[in-house]
Structures are given as C-alpha cells and as structure tokens.
C-alpha cells in the first residue's frame, strides 16, 4: 500500500471525484488570494469555530459549515472545492443516536449462512455519548492470548499479521487466516489445522491488514474500496480442533485508514479502539452518506442494507473545529467498541468521538486514552542558523497543532493547542501523569550544508488538557539537537526518549557524517546527551528497560547497538551483522524477549543483498530472520539466521499446487516476524513458519512448516 496504495486512491479520486471542467491551479494547488478574498473566507468560517469543544447543533448547521468550507476553498483556488455540492443523500438525523441494533429488531438477527447458535450472536450498537465502557468478566475457561507482538505500550495490543490463541499461532496472509497447531500429535510438532478465507468474493477490491485476538475470538481489520468502508470480520476458534467459524462481518464507513508505519486497530482490555478519517470535502459531494456501521448480509441489496444501517455518528456528534482546519479539513473519528464477554447474548458496541481538524494526523493509544495529534501541512520555512546546536525554542518555528485526548472509558474528550509535527506515533508518550512528545519544526538553513530539522521536546502535564483550547506555553518545550534528515527513528521508555536519524546520506549509510543517537531524560529534557553510536539510526526499539538502535556505517552490513539507560546512558555493546541488511521497516518486524536480569534474545528480518533491503512498505518478498542474544552484562552476540527457502509473493503462486492467492496479495504490513513464546523460538518468513533452537551460541533449525504447501484436514479430505 504505502506509495502504491495511496497512488491508487489518488488516481481513483481524481478520476471519480473531479469533473473534467475542474481546473488545477499552480503554486501547490493554490491560486494567489487577494487580502479581500482571504478575509472573506476567514469571516465565513469564523462563526463555526469554537475554542471550547462543542458539537454542531444540527445537520442544517453542519451543512452551513460545509458551505463555508466550499466558499473558502474556492477563494483559495483549491482543486476539490470546484466539485462540491452539498445535498446529503439521507434524511437528517436528530442529535440523539439511535441504537444500531435495537433490542428485538429482527434485522439484526444473524443472516443466513452465518453462525448463530444463540450464544454467539454479535450485534453492533451505538451507545450514548457518555456511556462508560462495559467491564467484562473473564471466565476461567477463556483461552490465553500470549503477547507475541512488539507493541508500543504495555497493556495495549496492536493489530498485526500473527497472533496466538492457546497453543495455536494464527497468521493473516493473502486475505486468509492460517491456524498452526504448535503442539500437534500431543507433542511439539507443527501442523496446519485450518485455512479460511476472510474474503467472500475474490472480485472485490479488498486489503486485509491487521488481526487481533480476544479469548477464542479473532478480529480481522481490512479496507474495502468497493464499500468505502473498514471491514471488521469476526471469527471463533474451536480450541479442540483449531477450526474457525465466521461469527459476523461488519462495515464501518471510512476513508482508507492505512499508514505505512502506524496501525489502525488497538485492543485495550476488552475494548477495540479504531481510528477512521473522513475528508470534509468528500462530505460536500452529492452522493455523501453519513458514515454507517452495519452487518454484512449475504445477498442483501444496497437499499435493504441502507434501511438496516445506523449512523456511526451524525452531525450532532461532530465537534466543531477549535481552530482553522487548514486547506483539507478532516473529520477524525476514534471509535471505542467494548467487546464484552464471550458468553451468550453479548454485543459488539461502538461509541465514536468525531472532531473536525487539520488533515494530517498521528494517533497513539494508552490503556486510558486515545490521543490524536492533528496538523495542517507544516509551512514553517527554513531560516539561517547554526547547525549542530539547538537554538532556543520559538513557537513561530513550529507549525500549529491540535491535540485531542479521548478517554477509553467514555468520559468527555479534552484538547490542547500544541506545536510541531511528530515524526510518527513513537514520538508520542503518556504515562505517570504527563504527555510527552518529540516534534519537528522548520529547518535551519545550515551554512554550507544540508538543512537541519528543528526538534523540540514537549512535556505536558495531563491536568493541562481541558475542554477549551489553550495554547501550551513555550516553557513546556525544550529545544533538542537537530538532525539532517526527515527520517527520524525514536522510542520512549518510562525514563528516557532515544532518537536518531540517517544523517546526510539518502541511502542510509553514513558516508559523510557519523550522526550520534540522542538520549533524553523525560523528567529533565535539558539533560539531553549525545551517544556516539557511529552509525545511522534507522530503527529504535525497546528491549527490556533499554533501547536497541540499528543502522549502517558502511556497506558491510547492519550494526546493532544496545544502549544501557540505567544510570548514565552508555553503549552497552555493539555488533555488526556482516552482509546482513534490514528488510522491513515496521515496528512489528522486530521482537525481543528480555528476562528480569537483562538477558534474553531478539530478532529482526534481514536479507543478504543491499539492493533487496529497501524496507519499503510495498516490499513483499520473504526475508530471513536474524537472531541475537544478550547476556546479563548487556553483551550482544549474533547467533545466526533462520533462512527462508520459499518465496512466491512477487510472482503469483510460484506454481504451488492447490494454492493461489486471490485477494490482498501484497504484504503491505510485511510478512516476516520473530516470535518468542512457550519457551520456543519461531520465525515467520513469508509462508514458512520455522522453529529454531539456540545451543552452542548458534541457532539451529528444528522444523518448518510451509502454510501454502500444507493442506489443512478439511482440504486434505477432499
């Protein structure tokens, strides 16, 4: 997806949304505005802006806001404004949201062909605005879900391509769920227990991206271009056989949620937390419909589906902009869906908070809150300065931002006016009563060198969030040493932030510089310290209470550095994986298992040729898995690889008898993962699951299973 998925979306939008008469203007899509036009556009939007979080009173008021947005866009010469025509396709909704599946509504019964034994029905409802998330009891028989994902926050699971239920590993690939029994035949053998298609029609343009597990339930998040909606498919795993049964499929209207680094779904306790964006300009089109949540029913026509659908939110639930929404205002939506117990009669319920804000967004979730940092395009220009030393913080050097805080328990959202652009979700952290962030500002035009990005550290006490927008004072920001790259790798621990970049080289090698990594004490950011790792920093990951950074000094191979954060931060150890290059860039590609004494094992995907190691989001070839051990003194030791033997991804099925990929055939979220569970070491590489064992300072292959070549019992019996 990355470039190609976004390119596909852009092409579709241009072909389907912009009439032939629409004109594109220069200067970044803008025509020069006269002062009078600018004043008129601002005056039209001003009445709809409220510094206090306030919802639109009605659909009519929201229509008037959309009209003002169109007028402003036309005055600015924005391409999308010429195609707007406000005429909602649905009747107006009241401020009160109806239940999506009211009690006793026969339309919410399980459709023909779906499982409904009276104990497992899943219905989607919309709760009231302030209803707290339901706390679910945990039955003693509920199967365990070992955490095998490199999550950003403890207690917050992220959607990924591999999860665990009991002794089964589940792999999401090619729009299919593969269930692998890790204790087959009463021992420790690997066997494919199930292969089920998530998709129902291979002709639909679908991408299936993320998987979460909850007890014996499996939830798959995907995006349908045909439905213009996020698809949530729910399955149940039979613990005795490893077989899956489909429990329900639900569509949640949205623009594509995809990010090349972030993940759309989180699981906090019993709560599914999902982010979905809606561009305001799309709401001005004649065919606009309020975002819906509905159950998919086989064979149902669109009219029947529309009658049965209920809004995810309506105008009365959208918070007005707290400041100017920029050139592309967007309705950002955070939905919290309490999953409840897996007992009889439980429902999947969704409660949504929707905010109008600037188009750019980064979201981050803790056990208590979902945070949404929104920016308009960073238009802070370069200025002359001295590179290498942080200047004093100045607000005008950082783009304006709006930071929303949405409590998971259903309490009212809060807001703060911030500055800067976080490089990614790992630049955000909230714990111990503080929200902290690393943000980027405008560049310093270095004399005789490449521009250096301004960076600042924000420390905002959680008590400073409010229902009314208030500017965070400059005393809450601390200027940080800049970096000469837009590619910043960073990671928080409870005590420190560590960040670095690729330096001056666009190829990721430190050809002309040896940029350090920087360690920032979160409670004393002015004490930032440079750590001379002497290689670029392309990845920063937490390993126990320390940080691992990876990068390159030359073309000999990947360097792995362990930074000890106990006491005075220092390099505990550094090793080079000769002729090994990182193959995937996502955070989930790395994993570690660190014991209380600091010893453990870690792994990440690598490849032997530099040309194959782009770490691009659309790279779909399988990788090897490189493993390292760390001892109690922080000494690293490479122990070798679990090597791929099979790769069909780039060239169809590769002639595998009985197996053809039909849907979602590019591994946009990567396909290689190190897995540590049940005292065992695994590596997923493409369609191969390999088990290894470390002995004598080397990892040795124990067994492997190719899930594309294997036939589960129900297919083998045919």
**What are the pLDDT digits (tens) for 559-589?**
999 999 999 999 999 999 999 999 999 999 9
Higher-confidence residue: 209 or 295? 209
What is the rounded CA–CA span in Å between residue 426 and residue 263? 12
The whole-angstrom separation of Cα 210 and Cα 588 is 12
Kindly state the tokens that stand for 542: 């937490």
pLDDT at 549 over 90: yes
Among the residue ranges 252-256, 259-263, 282-286, 338-342, the one predicted with the least confidence is: 338-342
Mean of per-residue pLDDT scores for the chain: 81
Provide, rounded to the nearest whole percent, the portion of the chain with pLDDT above 90: 52
CA distance 91 to 88: 7
Lowest-confidence region among 266-280, 352-366, 403-417 = 266-280
Tell me which DSSP letter residue 153 carries: S
Instruction: Name residue, tokens 């790798």.
Output: 489
Rounded Cα distance between 153 and 304, Å, is: 42
The predicted-structure confidence for 195-250, as pLDDT tens digits, reads as follows 999 999 888 889 999 999 999 999 999 998 888 888 888 899 999 999 999 988 88
For residue 120, give the 3-state DSSP assignment: coil
pLDDT band per the 50, 70, 90 thresholds, residue 511: very low
CB-based burial label for 659 (10 Å; 0-12, 13-18, 19+):
buried
Greater model confidence, 301 or 604: 604
- What average pLDDT does range 597-622 have in this prediction? 87
Q: What is the b/e burial string over 626-655, where b = at least 16 CB atoms within 10 angstroms of the residue's CB?
A: bbbbbeeebebebbbbbbbebbbbeeebee
pLDDT at 180 over 90: yes
Structure-block tokens of residue 376: 């308009």
What's the pLDDT at 380? 63
Query: Rounded distance, CA 298 to CA 344, Å?
Result: 24
Helix, strand or coil, per DSSP, at residue 11: helix
Examine the pLDDT at 23 and tell me if it is beyond 70: no
Any idea which residue has 């790992």 for tokens?
426
From CA 332, how far away is CA 405, in angstroms rounded?
12
pLDDT (0 to 100) of residue 485:
84
Grouping H, G, I as helix, E, B as strand and the rest as coil, residue 548 is: strand
Contact 170, 600 (CB under 8 A): no
- Give residue 697's region: left, alpha or beta (phi > 0; psi -120 to 50): left
Global pTM reads 0.85
Comparing 465 with 187, the larger pLDDT belongs to 465
Q: Would you state the structure tokens that stand for residue 568, as one six-digit string?
A: 């005075």
Distances (CA, A) of 464 to 208, 414, 472, 516, 676: 39, 9, 8, 34, 40
> Does 110 score more than 80 pLDDT?
no
The secondary structure of 154-207 as a DSSP string is TTEEE-BSEEEETTEEEEEETTEEEEEEEEETTTTEEEEEEEEES-S-TTS-EE
More confidently predicted of 683 and 622: 683
399: helix, strand or coil:
coil
Q: CA dist 548 to 542, 570, 630, 665, Å?
A: 6, 12, 11, 32
Structure tokens at 122: 């899943």
Radius of gyration of the chain (CA): 26
- Check if the beta carbon of residue 293 is closer than 8 Å to that of residue 386: no
- Distance of alpha carbon 115 from alpha carbon 253, whole angstroms: 24
First vs last Cα of the chain: how many Å apart? 36
Minimal CA–CA distance to 278: which of 292, 267, 260? Answer: 292
- pLDDT above 80 (res 12): no
- Give yes or no for a contact between 680 and 691, defined as CB atoms under 8 angstroms apart: yes
Comparing C-alpha atoms, which of 374, 337, 375 is closest to residue 353? Answer: 337
CA-CA distance, 217 to 190, in Å (whole number)? 22
- Whether 8 has a pLDDT exceeding 70, the answer reads no
Q: Look up residue 284 and give its two tokens.
A: 């001005």
User: Please, how many CA atoms are within 13 Å of residue 207, restricted to the half-sphere of its CB?
Assistant: 23
Per-residue model confidence (pLDDT) at position 313? 84
Q: What is the mean pLDDT of residues 167-182?
A: 97
Q: What is the pLDDT of residue 281?
A: 82
Is the pLDDT at 618 greater than 60? The verdict is yes
d(CA 102, CA 464): 39
Confidence of residue 346 (pLDDT cuts 50, 70, 90): low
| Distance from chain centroid for Cα 56 | 29
Question: How confident is the model at residue 377, as a pLDDT?
Answer: 65
Under the banding of pLDDT at 50, 70 and 90, the label for residue 535 is: very high
In the prediction, which pLDDT does 184 show? Answer: 93
Contacts of 541 (CB under 8 A, 6+ apart): 150, 491, 547, 548, 549, 587, 590, 592
* Tokens found for residue 256: 């594509």
């Amino acid at each position: 997806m990355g470039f190609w998925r976004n390119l596909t979306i852009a092409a579709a939008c241009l072909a389907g949304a912009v009439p032939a008469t629409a004109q594109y203007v220069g200067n970044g899509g803008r025509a020069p505005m006269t002062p009078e036009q600018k004043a008129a556009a601002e005056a039209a939007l001003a009445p709809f802006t409220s510094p206090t979080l306030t919802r639109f009173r009605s659909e009519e008021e929201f229509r008037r806001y959309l009209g003002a947005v169109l007028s402003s866009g036309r005055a600015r010469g924005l391409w999308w404004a010429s195609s707007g025509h406000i005429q909602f396709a649905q009747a107006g909704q009241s401020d009160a949201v109806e239940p999506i599946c009211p009690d006793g509504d026969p339309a919410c019964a399980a459709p023909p062909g779906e499982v409904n034994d009276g104990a497992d029905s899943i219905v989607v409802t919309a709760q009231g605005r302030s209803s707290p998330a339901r706390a679910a009891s945990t039955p003693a028989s509920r199967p365990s879900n070992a955490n095998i994902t490199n999550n950003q926050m403890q207690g917050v699971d992220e959607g990924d391509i591999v999860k665990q239920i009991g002794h089964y590993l589940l792999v999401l690939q090619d729009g299919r769920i593969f269930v692998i029994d890790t204790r087959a035949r009463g021992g420790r053998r690997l066997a494919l227990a199930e292969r089920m298609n998530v998709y129902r029609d291979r002709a639909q343009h679908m991408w299936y991206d993320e998987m979460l597990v909850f007890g014996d339930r499996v939830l798959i998040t995907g995006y349908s271009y045909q439905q213009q909606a996020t698809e949530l498919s729910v399955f149940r795993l039979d613990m005795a056989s490893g077989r899956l049964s489909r429990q329900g499929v639900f569509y949640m209207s949205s623009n594509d949620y995809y990010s090349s680094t972030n993940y759309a779904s989180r699981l906090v306790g019993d709560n599914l937390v999902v982010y979905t964006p809606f561009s305001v300009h799309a709401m001005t089109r004649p065919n606009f419909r309020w975002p819906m949540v509905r159950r998919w029913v086989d064979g149902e026509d669109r009219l029947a589906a529309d009658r049965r659908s209920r809004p995810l939110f309506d105008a009365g639930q959208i918070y007005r902009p707290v400041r100017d929404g920029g050139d592309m205002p967007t309705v950002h939506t955070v939905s919290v869906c309490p999953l409840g117990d897996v007992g009889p009669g439980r429902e999947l319920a969704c409660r949504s908070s929707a905010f109008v804000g600037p188009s750019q967004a980064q979201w981050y979730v803790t056990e208590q809150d979902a945070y949404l940092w929104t920016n308009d395009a960073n238009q802070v220009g370069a200025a002359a300065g001295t590179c290498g030393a942080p200047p004093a913080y100045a607000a005008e050097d950082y783009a304006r931002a709006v930071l929303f805080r949405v409590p998971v328990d259903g309490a009212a959202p809060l807001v703060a006016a911030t500055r800067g652009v976080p490089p990614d979700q790992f630049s955000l952290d909230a714990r111990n009563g503080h929200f902290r962030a690393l943000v980027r500002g405008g560049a310093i035009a270095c004399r005789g060198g490449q521009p250096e990005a301004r960076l600042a550290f924000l420390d905002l006490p959680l008590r400073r969030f409010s229902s009314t927008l208030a500017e965070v004072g400059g005393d809450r920001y601390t200027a940080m040493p800049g970096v000469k790259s837009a590619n910043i790798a960073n990671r928080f621990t409870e005590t420190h932030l560590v960040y670095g970049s690729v330096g001056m080289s666009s190829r990721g090698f430190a050809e002309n510089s040896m940029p350090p990594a920087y360690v920032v004490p979160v409670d004393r950011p002015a004490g930032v310290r440079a750590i001379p790792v002497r290689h670029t920093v392309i990845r920063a990951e937490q390993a126990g209470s320390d940080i691992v950074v990876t990068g390159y000094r030359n073309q000999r191979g990947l360097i792995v550095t362990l930074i000890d954060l106990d006491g005075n931060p220092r390099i505990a150890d550094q090793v080079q994986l000769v002729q090994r290059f990182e193959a995937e860039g996502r955070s989930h590609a790395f994993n570690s298992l660190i014991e209380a004494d600091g010893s453990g094992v870690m792994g990440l995907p690598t490849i032997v040729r530099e040309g194959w190691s782009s770490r691009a989001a659309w790279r779909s070839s399988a990788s090897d898995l490189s493993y390292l051990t760390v001892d109690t003194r922080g000494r690293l030791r490479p122990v070798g690889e679990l090597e791929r033997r099979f790769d069909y991804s780039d060239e169809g099925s590769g002639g595998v008898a009985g197996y053809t990929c039909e849907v979602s055939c590019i591994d946009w979220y990567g396909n290689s993962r190190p897995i540590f569970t049940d005292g065992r070491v695994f590596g997923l590489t493409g369609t191969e699951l390999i088990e290894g064992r470390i002995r004598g300072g080397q990892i040795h292959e124990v067994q492997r299973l190719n899930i594309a070549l294997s036939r589960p019992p129900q297919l083998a019996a045919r």
